[in-house]
Amino acid sequence: MINKMNLTIAHKSSVDSMKKVLYTLSKEKYQVLESLTKQIINCDLISNELSKDYLKNFTNDKVKGNHDIYNEFVQILLKYNPKYLNNNTKEFMDDFRTKYSTKNHPKSKGLNYTISFPKSWIVKEGERPNIIINAHDQRNQNISLVLMTKEFMTKRVNLMQ
């Protein structure tokens, strides 16, 4: 019960915002989608017992998107959350973050560090040899983070010549 409340507290405004966007785009398609959703929710394929067991095991890690299966789902919810629409700092401070480590990454060239950024940001592998990742804000394409490395050990130049 507590986990269900945590999920509702964390993401209800996101779902409401997504509904408004869908409704604005197409009123007719939204009504069809809502009707189908209600049919799926009312479907007897999932027993009450199974639903209760699932909610008992629905941890805060899943609510925060720190579980691999739920990460993308939570990213979408955060993208549409009005509370974080123009406030990446608030999202970060509310503990919706992605932690990225360069440890054992082939492009890190031995430099191991960890960085955190807002969970709603999209992360892509770097396309160039020295770019490890490129992360950008889904809501504001002007904000991005690039992790880069460079060869730290350079050839010695013999100055005595």
Tokens of 109: 């060239």
pTM: 0.60
Residues 64-104 pLDDT 10s: 676 677 778 888 888 888 888 888 899 899 888 889 888 98
List the one residue out of 64, 152, 143 whose CA is nearest residue 113.
152
pLDDT tens-place string over residues 105-149: 888 888 888 999 999 998 898 888 888 889 999 888 788 888 888
Residue entry with tokens 């013999």: 158
pLDDT tens by residue, 18-41? 778 777 877 777 777 777 666 655
pLDDT at position 51: 60
Distance CA 37, CA 125 (A): 35
